[in-house]
Amino acid sequence: MSRRAEAERRRALRAAARLVEGLEALRDALPAPPAYAATRAAVESALDAAVRYGIAAVPPPPPPPAGPTAGVPIGSLTPLERIPGVKHGHAKWLCRCACGKSATVRATLLRRGKVRACPACANAAKGERMARAHRARNPPAHWIEDEPA
């Protein structure tokens, strides 16, 4: 299942769980029988269906993606040492780029792959990507087939 479909399934299950909670609250709030017999029957049958389809049980949220690990490179960066968050509680990692520069980078940016190199190396990589795309869009010559005689 795709991540998106999985997220949608979880959202639907959470909504269903809230609905089930609401139905249970309604059932418990109904006056004693025989009053509201039809409502009670409808609520009970909806709750039975929820149990039958297993929508009352919400799976636990997926574990957060693994964070950076010291010595395991992310792109051109190698995280060296984790620096606990002080300002705003953002944990950072002291990282060394392949070019030798080092800096502290927020852990979340590393985890999400938003920062994979120092700015200079990232720019160089981007320039290379752009140049490749430009060459793909602008081939050095356009070859045409001979028209049939």
Residues at the contact surface with Zn ion, assessed by CB under 5 A: 97, 99, 118, 121
* Residue 148 neighbours by CB under 8 Å, 6+ apart: none
Q: Shortest Cβ distance from residue 79 to Zn ion (Å)?
A: 14
Rank residues 101 and 106 by Cβ distance to Zn ion and give the closer one: 101
**Closest of 108, 115, 104 to residue 81, by C-alpha:** 104
Contact 120, 100 (CB under 8 A): no
Q: Shortest Cβ distance from residue 83 to Zn ion (Å)?
A: 19
Q: Shortest Cβ distance from residue 100 to Zn ion (Å)?
A: 7
Rank residues 70 and 99 by Cβ distance to Zn ion and give the closer one: 99
Rank residues 43 and 110 by Cβ distance to Zn ion and give the closer one: 110
